[in-house]
Amino acid sequence: MLKTDKSIEEMSKQQVVSYLNETVKPEEGVIPAYLLGNQTVYDIEHEKVFLKTWVFVGHESEVPNKGDYMTRDLAGYSLIITRDNEGGIRAFYNMCTHRGMKLCRADKGNKTLFTCPYHGFNFKNTGELVGVPLQKDIYGGTLDRSQMGLHQVKLESYKGLLFGTWNEDVEPLEEFLGDIKWYLDILVGRAEMEVIGVPQRFVVSSNWKVGSDNFVGDSYHTMVTHGSIAKLGMVPNATYSKRGFQIHTENGHGLNLGTPNPDFAFPEELKNEFKSNLSEEQYEVLSNLKNMIGNVFPNLSFLISHTKIKDQFISNTSIRMWRPIGHNKMEVIAWMLVEKNASQDWKDRSRDSFILTFSPSGIFEQDDTEVFTDITEAAQGPMPFLKNLTYNYTMGLHREPVDFIGPGVAYDDKFTEASQRNFYKYWLELMTK
């Protein structure tokens, strides 16, 4: 066992990075507990992960009309995301370029002009500074407004999913997503999708990685943590969660595909729309899908869940972000998506099944947050570091991948921790770069 005489608080960032290299061993299934409970690790994550990669900021359908805007967080900084008169979507740092005041303080709305509450500087939703009170008088015509537009933030979309980044040298979004795109097509590209209402937000005293870890590869917990669901008859039995495939792709992404499903989990009347948007192979996966649970690195989790409610099967599609607030705190932001062309009855039932299962009151969700909180608490402070307490991620290390109809490294049931190892492998790569 590795030992250090120093506490992590006494180490320089560089020393912490080399210590990570020595102690984090995803390929051997060894992940130290201090990763979930340490401020220095959290600070390095902020710089090397969240300021470097693409981070999810919202869905295009949340700003459907010209002049719509919403404010969102990107790695701890507020963005204004606007749709201009030509339909283009842009993101700006939510900061007035004059004195730094937060320009827009509402969650969402519709306007084309943003006025700073401090000195009244006016910005168009395209970022240009168009008005400065008493400009001629006080600046004597010397103020170059063209140099004072809002700071534009790199924003790209994949099938309606909007991602932003502070990193100017980042690879294109599609390259970063890589093979996980094939599965995101099934999730949000199968039809025209829209967000219902607004996202749900709540705060959990948990390190963000616990959430990503849970969604990227942990189908194993379903039997126990969610044992109540089987008891209520909403899913077939406690071991149903093993059936299917676990898949991971490059850059730390991964998912679990629950399959087969004797029932078609999606609106029957939209089969043609699904077929026209998906390849034959993707449609075959969709047709047999019972559930799909995964994570786009670092912190965008996604879910299709198919359950029996009031004697009727219904599925719901959602995405959620584990937004870090501190090393032991995160905001969970959960969006629910539905096929725009589905019937109102389907939309309502799908929404209500989401609320019942995966909203803050959701009967799946609430048991997870209880676990996340206690795991995080046990990892806090110097002891887990000094004693080098580690978690065991060896499940499935002995197994070989199988051929699968879709891309990525696939295993032929979901009870393996290969996806979590893959998540931490990429995390470590970024942290020690």
Partner 1 sequence: MKVEEMLVKCEFEQWLYDEAQLLDDIEFDEWFDLMHSSLCYQMPVRVNKDGVERPDYSTKMFTFNDDIELLKLRVDRLKTDYAWAEIPPSRTRRFVSNVRVKDFVEGEKAVVKSYLLIYRSRSTDIQHDLISGERNDEFIFEDGKWKLSKRIFIVDQTTINTRNLAIFV
How far is 66 from 78, CA to CA, in rounded Å? 21
371 near partner 1, judged by CB under 8 A: yes
How far is 71 from 18, CA to CA, in rounded Å? 37
CB of 359 to partner 1, least distance (A): 5
- Judged by CB under 8 A, the residue of 39, 43, 88, 106 near partner 1 is 106
CB of 63 to partner 1, least distance (A): 14
Query: 329 and 205 in contact (C-beta within 8 Å)?
Result: yes
Instruction: State the amino acid at position 283 in one-letter form.
Output: Y
Residues 224-243 that bind partner 1 (CB under 8 A): 224-228, 231-232
Site string for partner 1, 287-326 (x = CB under 8 A): ----------------------xx----------------
Q: Which of 104, 69, 121, 62 is nearest to 90 (CA)?
A: 69
Contact region with partner 1 (CB under 8 A), list: 54-62, 141-149, 190-198, 290-298:
190-198
**How many residues belong to the site for partner 1 (CB under 8 A)?**
44
How far is 215 from 294, CA to CA, in rounded Å? 5
365 near partner 1, judged by CB under 8 A: yes
42 near partner 1, judged by CB under 8 A: no
CB of 270 to partner 1, least distance (A): 20
C-beta of 202 vs 283, nearer to partner 1 = 202
Q: In the numeric block, which tokens belong to residue 55?
A: 């981070």
How far is 240 from 259, CA to CA, in rounded Å? 9
- Judged by CB under 8 A, the residue of 67, 131, 360, 401 near partner 1 is 360
CB of 201 to partner 1, least distance (A): 4
Instruction: Quickly tell me which residue has 């943003």 as its tokens.
Output: 114
Query: 257 and 304 in contact (C-beta within 8 Å)?
Result: no
377, with CB counted inside 10 A (0-12, 13-18, 19+), is: middle
Contact region with partner 1 (CB under 8 A), list: 98-106, 158-166, 167-175, 179-187:
98-106
- Judged by CB under 8 A, the residue of 128, 171, 179, 352 near partner 1 is 352
105, with CB counted inside 10 A (0-12, 13-18, 19+), is: exposed
Q: Within 10 Å of residue 106's Cβ, how many Cβ atoms?
A: 10
Q: In the numeric block, which tokens belong to residue 219?
A: 């189908």
Contact region with partner 1 (CB under 8 A), list: 48-56, 91-99, 173-181, 196-204:
196-204
C-beta of 84 vs 367, nearer to partner 1 = 367
107 near partner 1, judged by CB under 8 A: yes
Radius of gyration of the chain (CA): 23
89, with CB counted inside 10 A (0-12, 13-18, 19+), is: middle
Question: Could you tell me the end-to-end alpha-carbon distance of the chain, in angstroms, rounded to an integer?
Answer: 25
131 near partner 1, judged by CB under 8 A: no
Instruction: State the amino acid at position 52 in one-letter form.
Output: K
Give the number of residues written for the chain: 433
C-beta of 287 vs 373, nearer to partner 1 = 373
378 near partner 1, judged by CB under 8 A: no
How far is 223 from 244, CA to CA, in rounded Å? 15
What DSSP designation does 306 have?
Answer: E
61 near partner 1, judged by CB under 8 A: no
Which stretches within 8-56 are classed as H helix? 13-23, 39-45
C-beta of 113 vs 383, nearer to partner 1 = 113
203 near partner 1, judged by CB under 8 A: yes
C-beta of 171 vs 192, nearer to partner 1 = 192
197 near partner 1, judged by CB under 8 A: yes
- Judged by CB under 8 A, the residue of 200, 214, 291, 305 near partner 1 is 200
202 near partner 1, judged by CB under 8 A: yes
Residues of the shown chain interacting with partner 1 in the complex, contacts defined by CB under 8 A: 104-109, 111, 196-205, 224-228, 231-232, 309-310, 331, 336, 351-352, 355-356, 359-363, 365-367, 369-371, 373
